[in-house]
Amino acid sequence: MNDPSRFYRWLLLVGSLVTIAYLAGAAVHENYLAQWKTVQREYRDILRQKTADDRGRELLSKFRIEMKQVSIPALGAVDRCVTCHNGIDDPRVTDAALPHRTHPGHLLDKHPVDRFGCTVCHHGQGAALTFQEAKAEDVYWDYPLLPPEMTEAACATCHDPEKLPSDQVPMLTLGLKLYKEKSCGSCHKLGGRGGTLGPALDNEGAKTRHQLIMTNVKPPYTTWNWQTAHFRDPGSIVRDSQMRNPTVTRGEALALTVLMLSEWRRDVPESYLAPDKIDQKHRDLHPIPLTGEQVYRQYCTACHGNGTYSRWDKKFGRFVPAVRGDSLVAGAPRDYLRTNIEQGRPGTQMPAWGPHAGGLHTEEITAVDEYLRAGARAAPPMPSLSLRGDSSRGLSLFLTNCAGCHGMHGRGGIAPEIGNPVFQQAATNEFIVRTIRNGRIRTAMPAFQRPEASALGDQDIADVLAYLRTLGENKNQSARTPGSTPPPPVGGKP
């Protein structure tokens, strides 16, 4: 090469020309190829065809191809949707194709665009100027555009979903009904009320897709696709899910999804809230007590079924005891149920339901207690138990007869845990003895005092009782030093 500056001059020429080309490319891209400009040109043509009167001519003459937006500082919304949805509040274009068409229904009469914008109801990325980015399913945006059938979830932002007419929000209404029917509250807390086996559902609608594992969901990876798939079969979406299949149809799964999406306590200015929403907030703080039956239906049936039989629970791998009717109530001391409901049963899946735990009010617990005992026949009086028990003999009897179901040290197996302090405190000696003697009807607990050789005599029962009463103390010790006492070998049948 003769003169290196020749190379540099070529480089400069090429560099400059490429720069000009790309600058020009960017300018063309911005000014002529923008999607919204094409849309607005189409809309202008539609306006031309529709123009019949002076008013129409005036609107046409005022129409300019320019970016449009609705800015609502109170809602933190800057929605440019109207850049493409030009005819959203123009009644003349009801028959036009999307995106030019008028907003369907009469919702805009009460929710004018310039006061509410678009995204407060529809979600999606209001700042965007292409449909793909406004829809925001596959871009980085927390709340993509809700599918039309789910948009009603957003009504709950400013309205009390229970007070909305059900024909306007059919999915939401169905979802609310299903939530109670399926007894979701047995495991999930909502507004401070419910069980603790599953996660609380407050603000579930505020979740973004990054908070949910999407590995087993079919794309697009939206929260509602996750929710719907999860309601259809929880185990296929979340590995090792404890949640039982709610057995819902696809439509019902969608309704529950809408309900979940509506659980979003967005901070909107008070001036936007419907009066019933304010009532709802008040009601959430001071709930009207439910009847015993309502409490039982909403918060107990998921595990206990109708309560009169003990249920084998596949997920838990154990029997859930019968809590209603003669089976338990007849023999239990007066406060037994109440204490168990209020304080739960540590070591089992049964959570505490007192005001500071499951959120039930004292009067509701009283009501459900009464509901459970209703119609139960009082147990016949039992001859008093005066025998002294020997706890070491009781241990071997327990191992032979009880540990198979109730577990070593009564820690629970397929039958409930009986070493826990709540049981130890609530169950009287009489109750325990009666249960061992007579068993529990409609449950897997057999009667141990029967006319057979292997049956337990009064003294045996007294020994077992003595042993059981040591469990409360033992448990504390063994809890402190796990594995310090090797469990004795198990022998015999349950």
Partner 1 sequence: MEETATQEFLHNLRTLPHSVKEACFRLGKAPESEREESQATFHNLFLHIHSVRVHLRTLSPTLTFGLGLMATASFVLTLITGVLLMVYYKPSTDLAYQSIKDIHFAVFTGRFIRNIHRWAAQFMVVVVLLHMARVFFTASYKKPREFNWLVGLGLLVITLALSFTGYLLPWDQLAYWAITIGSNIANSPRELTDAIGITKYFDPGGFQKRLLLGANYVGQDALIRFYVLHVFVLPLALVTLLGVHFWRIRKDGGLAKPEDPMGGLAEWGGERRPVFEPLATKTYGLMALVKGQRPPVNRGPENTVMSWPRLFWAELSVFMLTVATTLILAFYSDAPLKELANAAIPENPAKAPWYFLGIQELVSYSAFTGGLLIPVIVVVGLALIPFLDRRAGGEGTWFGTKSERAVFWQSFLFALAVTAGMLAFTVNYGWLRNWSPNIHQLWIIVINPGSLLVVIFAGWSILILRRKNSVRLAAVSLFTCFLVGFILLTYFATVHRGPNWHFYWWPSQWPIH
Partner 2 sequence: MSRLDPPRINRRSFLSLASMGSFFAALGTAAAGMFRLPNPAVLPGPVRRFKLGPPEQFAAGSETAFAEQGLVLFRDDEGFYAISSTCTHLGCTVARSQDGFACPCHGSRFDNEGSVIGGPAPRPLPWLEVSRVANGDLVVNADSEVPEGTRYRV
Q: Which residues of the chain form contacts with partner 1 (CB under 8 A)?
A: 2-5, 7-12, 14-16, 18-19, 22-23, 25-27, 30, 67, 69, 78, 80, 125, 127-129, 133, 140-142, 208-215, 217, 221
Q: Of 46, 47, 72, 352, which one interacts with partner 2 (CB under 8 A)?
A: 72
**Closest C-alpha to 410, from 491, 339, 474, 324:** 474
Q: Does 13 bind partner 2 (CB under 8 A)?
A: yes
Q: Are 373 and 383 in contact (CB under 8 A)?
A: no
Q: Contacting partner 2 (CB under 8 A), which of 28, 67, 213, 490?
A: 67
Nearer to partner 2, 83 or 262 (CB): 83
Q: Please work out the total of residues on this chain that contact partner 2, with binding judged by CB under 8 A.
A: 29
Which residue number, 31 or 386, has a Cβ lying nearer to partner 2? 31
Q: What are phi and psi of 247, to 5 degrees?
A: 45, 75
Do residues 143 and 210 touch, judged by C-beta distance below 8 A? no
Distance CA 236, CA 243 (A): 11
- Segment contacting partner 2 by CB under 8 A, of 72-80, 154-162, 290-298, 415-423: 72-80
Among 44, 68, 180, 244, binds partner 2 (CB under 8 A): 68
Residue 221 binding partner per list partner 1, partner 2, none, with a CB distance cut-off of 5 to 8 Å that depends on partner kind:
partner 1
Helix (H, G, I), strand (E, B) or coil at 76: coil
Please give the span between the terminal C-alpha atoms of the chain, in angstroms, as a whole number.
Answer: 99
Helices (H), 344-390: 362-373
Q: H helices of 374-457, where? A: 391-401, 403-406, 421-426, 429-438
Q: What is the DSSP letter of 153?
A: G
Task: Closer to partner 1 by CB, 5 or 384: give it.
Answer: 5
Q: Name the β-bridge partners of 32.
A: none
Q: Assign 79 to helix, strand or coil.
A: strand
What is the phi-psi region of residue 446: left when phi exceeds 0, alpha when psi lies from -120 to 50, beta otherwise? beta
> CB of residue 102 vs partner 2: minimum separation in angstroms?
15
C-alpha Rg value of the chain to the nearest Å? 34
Does residue 452 belong to the site contacting partner 2 (CB under 8 A)? no
Q: What is the pattern of x (binds partner 2, CB under 8 A) and - over residues 182-201?
A: --------------------
* Cα–chain center distance at 216: 19
Site for partner 2 in 107-126 (CB under 8 A): 109-110, 112, 114
- Indicate if the alpha-carbon torsion angle 299, 305, 306, 310 is positive or negative: negative
Q: Where are the alpha helices (DSSP H) in 182-247?
A: 223-232, 234-237
211 binds, among partner 1, partner 2, none (CB under 5 to 8 A by kind): partner 1
* 3-class DSSP state of 190: strand
Site string for partner 2, 26-65 (x = CB under 8 A): xx--------------------------------------
Phi, psi (deg, nearest 5) at residue 131: -65, -40
Question: For residue 157, what is the DSSP state?
Answer: G
Residue 127 touching partner 2 (CB under 8 A) = no
Q: Is the peptide bond before 333 cis (omega within 30 degrees of 0)?
A: no
Can you name the residues that pair with 194 across neighbouring β-strands? 189
Shortest distance in whole angstroms from residue 271 CB to partner 2: 11
141 binds, among partner 2, partner 1, none (CB under 5 to 8 A by kind): partner 1
Q: In angstroms, rounded to a whole number, what is the distance separating the alpha carbons of residues 187 and 293?
A: 18
Q: Which one of the spans 17-25, 194-202, 277-285, 439-447 is the region binding partner 2 (CB under 8 A)?
A: 17-25
The CB-of-14 to partner 1 minimum distance in angstroms stands at 8
To partner 1, the closest distance from the beta carbon of 156 in angstroms equals: 21
CB of 362 to partner 1, least distance (A): 34
Selection from partner 2, partner 1, none that 73 binds (CB < 5 to 8 A by kind) is partner 2
Return the one option of partner 2, partner 1, none that residue 190 interacts with (CB less than 5 to 8 A, by type).
none
Binding-site partner at residue 55 among partner 2, partner 1, none, CB < 5 to 8 Å by type: none
Give, for 480, the enclosing helix (H) or strand (E). Answer: helix 458-480
Residues that bind partner 2 (CB under 8 A): 3, 5-6, 9-10, 12-13, 16-17, 19-20, 23-24, 26-27, 66-73, 78, 80, 109-110, 112, 114
